[in-house]
């Protein structure tokens, strides 16, 4: 399962050969650890034109404890750049985007973070809409250019609502978002809950993770526990022992249960007498075949586990009030649900269905229950699921993204933990790809 190519390209002969042959040269990515939690150098705060939010954004960045400067000459090798492009209301304003970033982009440190801050393209002002949409193409292209493990995102904040962006800026400017690039994240103006301790944002909260015995789910459960949550780990009774081990390792409890069971929601509610603050729908299966060869059973089992059970349990748990106010629901889509995949009509349908569910439910869940609903859409993540993929397809999956490598389960887990934070109230209805900016469905 290990990515031997990534290791090889870090050696002297590997560097020589990849350069000579023009092969992908993935940079080792730095993940979050308690010893090195944040940016490894100064953060440059630039502006493209005069914006009403510049000062407020500067104050917010300063409050993160990062070493922030607005002078390029004070940051010879910036580890991060935040470009405030909220003042760009017509294509002419894009000149200022070029003027701000062109002189400094080459000096971005390896593993650097670029966040372009914009606003939602207007439905009434087509000049503003053209300019703000232009930032999307700009961001996605820059993500493909920067190389050396650096990432670039576009963060659309609600006009006049800078404070709700704090948890997202902290996430995007940290090693927690190592495998995210080319993402467009749009915030609502919702006020965040205050955070007592950014190192344990989930203290006192209860989370339930489905499919938690192994792979991505086990990592999600681990990261939520690390962030202070009491975690209930759910998986099918057939893997009861593995589930018990995972739960024990993180000081959580195990709930052996098939999520497709008729009484699944009741059993979950019974296991969480004080309600749930975080509900992560991670359980998923594949039963690949081309449509022409796919028996009905392969179709229905995938749609039932990956989509129907998510709809059923979400509806029931919201209706019963088991998901507490301020709660967070995180579902799991896939880039297959965006790009489609040969042999995966069933799987891609189920994962695209998750995207539809999240977008439609998010505003209602927020208004009626005070709950946010988001989805992670993993790309190629190194797990047992992808280890089973034939070698050539596996290698293509690993390399065909801007970071030229597969992600790790922890990358999906960190994204889930950011959604789960009490401070992320403004993050709602988002589908965030954890795919290293995969070329599939880009
Ligand atoms: N690995 C990837 O590259 C990748 C890419 C895109 C999306 N995903 C999605 O991420 C999620 C986790 O994937 P993974 O790679 O860790 O998979 P995995 O197969 O390693 O783990 C999935 C877990 O879900 C559990 N599960 C399956 N059916 C269940 C049911 N009916 N009730 C309860 N639990 C059930 C399994 O027992 C298993 O422990 C899935 O939804 C998958 O579709 C993974």
Q: How far is the CA of 249 from the centre of ligand 1 (A)?
A: 20
Residue 396: its pLDDT value, please?
86
407 lines ligand 1 (CB under 6 A): no
Q: How far is the CA of 200 from the centre of ligand 1 (A)?
A: 27
Which atom of ligand 1 lies closest to the CA of 259?
32
CA dihedral 412, 370, 254, 263 (to 10 degrees): -120
- Is the Cβ–Cβ distance between 304 and 326 less than 8 Å? no
Residue 442: its pLDDT value, please?
60
254 lines ligand 1 (CB under 6 A): no
Q: How far is the CA of 11 from the centre of ligand 1 (A)?
A: 34
| pLDDT (mean) for 362-367 | 98
Residue 3: its pLDDT value, please?
79
310 lines ligand 1 (CB under 6 A): no
Name the catalytic one among 32, 179, 347, 419: 347
Residue 268: its pLDDT value, please?
98
Domains in the chain, ordered, with CATH? 31-186 (3.40.50.720), 206-434 (3.40.50.720)
Residue 5: its pLDDT value, please?
77
Residue 36: its pLDDT value, please?
84
CA distances from 289 to 341, 343, 395, 396 (A): 11, 5, 20, 19
Is 368's pLDDT higher than 80? yes
236 lines ligand 1 (CB under 6 A): yes
pTM to 2 decimal places: 0.96
Kindly report the protein residue whose alpha carbon is nearest to atom 38 of ligand 1: 211
- In tens, the pLDDT along 29-71 reads 999 998 888 898 999 999 999 888 889 999 999 999 999 999 9
Say which residue, 413 or 198, is predicted with more confidence. 413
- In tens, the pLDDT along 266-314 reads 999 999 999 999 999 999 999 999 999 999 999 999 999 999 999 999 9
In the annotation, is 347 catalytic?
Answer: yes
Is 1's pLDDT higher than 60? no
Q: How far is the CA of 36 from the centre of ligand 1 (A)?
A: 30
- In tens, the pLDDT along 213-230 reads 999 999 999 999 999 999
Say which residue, 368 or 196, is predicted with more confidence. 368
Q: How far is the CA of 70 from the centre of ligand 1 (A)?
A: 44
Is 169's pLDDT higher than 60? yes
CB burial of residue 274 (10 Å; 0-12, 13-18, 19+): exposed
Q: How far is the CA of 288 from the centre of ligand 1 (A)?
A: 14
378 lines ligand 1 (CB under 6 A): yes
- Two tokens, residue 220: 């999600």
| pLDDT (mean) for 364-388 | 94
Q: Which of 237, 284, 306 to mutate to test the pocket of ligand 1 (most atoms within 8 A of CB)?
A: 284
Kindly report the protein residue whose alpha carbon is nearest to atom 1 of ligand 1: 381
- Using 50, 70 and 90 to split pLDDT, how confident is the model at 432? very high
Residue in 209, 183, 138 with CA at minimum distance from that of residue 432: 183
Residue 348: its pLDDT value, please?
98
In the block, residue with structure tokens 């994240």: 185
Strand partners, 47: 84
374 lines ligand 1 (CB under 6 A): no
397 lines ligand 1 (CB under 6 A): no
CB burial of residue 326 (10 Å; 0-12, 13-18, 19+): middle
Mean per-residue pLDDT of the chain: 94
Is 404's pLDDT higher than 60? yes
CA 277 and chain centroid, separation: 19
414 lines ligand 1 (CB under 6 A): no
Q: How far apart are CA 71 and CA 144, in angstroms?
A: 26
Q: How far apart are CA 357 and CA 424, in angstroms?
A: 20
Residue 104: its pLDDT value, please?
97
- In tens, the pLDDT along 25-35 reads 789 999 999 88
């Amino acid at each position: 399962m290990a990515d031997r190519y990534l290791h090889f390209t870090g050696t002297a002969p590997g560097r020589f050969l990849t350069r000579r042959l023009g092969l992908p040269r993935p940079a080792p990515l730095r993940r979050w650890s308690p010893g090195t939690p944040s940016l490894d150098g100064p953060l440059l705060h630039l502006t493209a034109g005069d914006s009403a939010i510049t000062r407020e954004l500067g104050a917010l960045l300063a409050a993160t404890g990062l070493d922030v400067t607005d002078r390029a000459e004070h940051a010879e090798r910036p580890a991060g750049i935040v470009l405030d492009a909220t003042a760009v209301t017509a294509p002419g304003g894009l000149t200022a985007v070029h003027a701000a970033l062109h002189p400094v982009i080459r000096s971005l440190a390896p593993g650097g973070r670029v966040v372009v801050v914009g606003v939602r393209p207007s439905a009434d002002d087509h000049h503003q809409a053209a300019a703000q949409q232009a930032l999307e193409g700009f961001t996605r292209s820059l993500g493909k250019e920067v190389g050396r493990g650096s990432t670039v995102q576009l963060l659309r904040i609600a006009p006049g609502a800078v404070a709700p962006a704090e948890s997202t800026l902290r996430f995007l400017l940290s090693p927690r978002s190592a495998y995210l690039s080319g993402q467009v994240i749009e915030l609502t103006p919702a006020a965040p809950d205050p955070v007592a301790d950014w190192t344990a944002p989930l203290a006192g909260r209860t989370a339930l993770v489905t499919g938690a015995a192994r792979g991505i789910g086990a990592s999600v459960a681990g990261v939520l526990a690390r962030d202070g949550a009491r975690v209930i780990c759910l998986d099918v009774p057939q893997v009861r022992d593995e589930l018990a081990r995972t739960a024990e390792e993180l000081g959580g409890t195990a709930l052996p249960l098939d999520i497709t069971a008729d009484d699944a929601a009741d059993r979950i509610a019974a296991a969480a007498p004080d309600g749930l603050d975080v509900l992560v729908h991670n359980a998923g299966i594949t039963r690949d075949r081309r449509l022409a060869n796919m028996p009905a059973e392969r179709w229905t089992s995938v749609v039932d586990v990956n989509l129907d059970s998510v709809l059923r349990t979400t509806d029931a748990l919201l209706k019963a009030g088991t998901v507490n106010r301020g709660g967070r629901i995180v579902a799991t889509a896939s880039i297959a649900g965006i790009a489609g995949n040969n042999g995966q009509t069933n799987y891609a349908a189920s994962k695209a269905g998750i995207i539809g569910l999240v977008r439609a439910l998010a505003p209602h869940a927020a208004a009626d229950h005070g709950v946010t609903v988001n989805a992670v859409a993993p790309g190629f993540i190194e797990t047992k699921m992808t280890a089973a993929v034939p070698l050539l397809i596996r290698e293509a999956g690993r390399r065909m993204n801007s970071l030229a490598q597969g992600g790790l389960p922890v990358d999906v887990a960190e994204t889930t933990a950011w959604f789960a934070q009490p401070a992320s109230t403004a993050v709602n209805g988002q589908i965030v790809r954890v795919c290293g900016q995969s070329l599939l469905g880009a």
